[in-house]
Amino acid sequence: EKGGYEHYMLKEIFEQPEAIRNATRGRIDADQGTAVLSGLALSPRELVDFHRLLIVGCGTSLNAGLVGEYAVEDFAAMLGEVEQAAEFRYRNPIVGSKDLVVAISQSGETADTLAAVREAINKGAMVAGLVNVVGSTIAREAGRGIYLHAGPEISVASTKAFTCQVSVLLSIALKLARGRRMSLEEGQRIANEILRVPDLVQQVLEKNDEIAKVAENFVKFDNMFYIGRGYMFPVALEGALKIKEISYIHAEAYNAAELKHGPIALLEENMPVVALMNKGPGKEKTVGNVEECRARKAPVLGVITEGDDEAREACDWVIEIPECPHYTATIVATTALQLFSYHVARLRGCPIDQPRNLAKSVTVE
């Protein structure tokens, strides 16, 4: 049932081109440069009237939510906010009828996310679930919903759910943008970029052997940093979460600018850094940060755009990804980091599909 793969995690990583196609099928209208999201059922008036897109979730779903926050501000010039579901529910949050709340949960059963859904509904917000498991509690309780259609995710470490969540969040941001301010032409450009993603992810999967080789260099470390700017910051967070949970290497993610405000004190030859330095806004600055890391003897693995010699020269090792805008590179670069984590964990002999202390869905607080 693992389809010839050694672990569910690897199978699910490789299922991503198809899963993302399913998550976006019928939802991206390239001609109209918009998204069709019947589960949201927003009227043209509602699209304009919302003041804020508020996203709640936990773990990997929270990291996907941060991409959603950035995208809605970037595409729609609308206020976006993401909050960890437990923090949201216990803070007496300010939320109401001007908010569109999206609760993200692969399982649809996460206790804190469910409680956040109830809290937002009680306070009068429109709540939509972005859920993978059909008929799950969050899917039933949220007033509206969008199913991921990623297919079953068995591995405790979430992979294809993240990339599908981000695909749908980009679609939501596009829909809001087109209803508010974005031109047809701009919308078409973004829609076509979203439609390219499955092929780009496929190209990363074809580098599996290469990524496995790079991973060999990391087996010996106990700590790691992940850095990225802008859209690449949530990718750093997700990369660090994945390596922590399956390889048991302690990892921290920072937006690259934050390094010099403290974490830089930890840099030395036993503190490798994974840097998201693919082409896009902030890349040059991240290259500068990488040079600062290497000056302190920290070894650097760069995720770079194919053929970017400047970025390559700044690093000890690289994983190349195809050229794409940063908003879709969140998906493409994450795929590369999933494979990287997988191979590090495999080489360390970790129980990849069932890491210690973790369950697939966290139904208690």
**Is residue 153 near ligand M6R by the rule CB under 6 A?**
no
Secondary structure of residue 240 in the 3-state scheme: helix
**Is residue 245 near ligand M6R by the rule CB under 6 A?**
yes
CB of 358 to ligand M6R, least distance (A): 6
CB of 113 to ligand M6R, least distance (A): 5
* CB crowding 327-343: b at 16 or more within 10 Å, else e: bbbbbbbbbbbbbbbbb
Cβ-closest residue to ligand M6R?
Answer: 59
**Is residue 247 near ligand M6R by the rule CB under 6 A?**
no
**Is residue 156 near ligand M6R by the rule CB under 6 A?**
yes
Annotated catalytic residue 360:
yes
Residue reference for tokens 């949960």: 105
What are the CA-CA distances from residue 178 to residues 40, 67, 78, 102, 188 (Å)?
15, 18, 12, 18, 10
**Is residue 157 near ligand M6R by the rule CB under 6 A?**
yes
- Using CA atoms, how far apart are residues 38 and 10, in angstroms rounded to an integer? 32
**Is residue 106 near ligand M6R by the rule CB under 6 A?**
yes
**Is residue 113 near ligand M6R by the rule CB under 6 A?**
yes
100-108, 227-235, 294-302, 303-311 -> range binding ligand M6R (CB under 6 A): 100-108
**Is residue 158 near ligand M6R by the rule CB under 6 A?**
yes
46-85 residues in contact with ligand M6R (CB under 6 A) are: 58-61
**Is residue 335 near ligand M6R by the rule CB under 6 A?**
no
Cβ contacts of residue 34 below 8 Å, gap of 6+? 174, 175, 178, 187, 191
234 burial (CB, 10 Å; 0-12 / 13-18 / 19+) is: buried
10 burial (CB, 10 Å; 0-12 / 13-18 / 19+) is: buried
203 burial (CB, 10 Å; 0-12 / 13-18 / 19+) is: middle
CB of 169 to ligand M6R, least distance (A): 13
CB of 315 to ligand M6R, least distance (A): 26
Question: Pattern 260-299, binding to ligand M6R, x per CB under 6 A?
Answer: ----------------------------------------
Query: How many chain residues bind ligand M6R (CB under 6 A)?
Result: 17
CB of 106 to ligand M6R, least distance (A): 3
25-33, 172-180, 258-266, 355-363 -> range binding ligand M6R (CB under 6 A): 355-363
* CB crowding 159-190: b at 16 or more within 10 Å, else e: bbbbbbbbbbbbbbbbbbbbbbebeeeebbeb
Angle between helices 16-24 and 160-180 (to 10 degrees): 30
Residue of 16, 22, 110, 338 that binds ligand M6R (CB under 6 A): 110
Token representation of residue 184: 């047809």
Token representation of residue 358: 């973790």
Residue 354 neighbours by CB distance under 10 Å? 16
**Is residue 105 near ligand M6R by the rule CB under 6 A?**
yes
- Positions that interact with ligand M6R (CB under 6 A): 58-61, 105-107, 110, 113, 156-158, 241, 245, 358, 361-362
Catalytic residue numbers read 360
